[in-house]
Amino acid sequence: MSDPVKRSTFYGRRQGRPLRKKATELVETVFPKIRISLEGMQEGGTLDLSRIFAGSGGPVWLEIGFGGGEHLAWQAENNPEANIIGAEYFINGVASLLGHLDENGADNVRIYRGDVRDLLPFLPDSCLSKAFLLFPDPWHKARHNKRRFIQKETLDRLAELMVDGGEFRMATDDMGYLQWMLERTVPHPDFTWIAEGPLDWDRRTDDWPQTRYEEKALKKGLKPGYLRFRRNARG
């Protein structure tokens, strides 16, 4: 059956170096079991998260572009009550996450391989307790800024998807993108910056593990920014 979902234009790599044997085996055998598919979904349809997570009634989290999967796998292992969706287009990243899950044994993760913007319309409103956007591509050139995930329309949709009091975390090592994030999220009526002061953006909380992209940034002498926003209570 063809997929009637209108796909967003994806800008980025779909695959890097060839996968090793173990990674290929995981992609072929494990990935199909935990994959979220939009095949057959009609416009206006909604995914059944209870079915996707085998009846688990735990909170649902979403990581947008999980890279190598280090953060997502850590969260899954340390928060077994949470049902975590990871969205990533890069097949090498999917394989990396599968490897981490194979090592730690976490079974509370489902993967959407694709642009998360295609997934968001099919998630039920008020379903997310946490969302993460960690070290996304900053798209430095001004003409490419429209490719950044943080836009008014995506923030509007995230606000619809998040429960009251839900938390949205962002991180970047690009100060231009950090400013972009703040300029668009701080004034958004549905979000409040969880900060002790105007410069409270330079440290992670204890339940926020380092990613390999962050490690690379620190080795380059870059200073990442970390942002936490709370979804305001609905009136």
The answer to whether the annotation marks 137 as part of a ligand binding site is yes
Q: Provide the residue ranges of all domains of the chain, joining segments of one domain with +.
A: 21-231
Instruction: Determine the 3-state secondary structure of 22 from DSSP.
Output: helix
Q: Determine the average pLDDT of the residues in 180-195.
A: 96
Overall pTM surpassing 0.85 (yes/no): yes
The top-level CATH class assigned to 21-231 is alpha beta
The single residue of 137, 156, 200, 206 carrying the catalytic annotation is 137
pLDDT in the model for residue 4: 46
Query: Is 102 labeled as catalytic in the residue annotation?
Result: no
The answer to whether the annotation marks 214 as part of a ligand binding site is yes
Give the full edge-to-edge strand order of the sheet including 162-172.
109-112, 83-87, 60-64, 128-134, 162-172, 225-231, 191-193
pLDDT tens, residue by residue, 219-228: 999 999 999 9
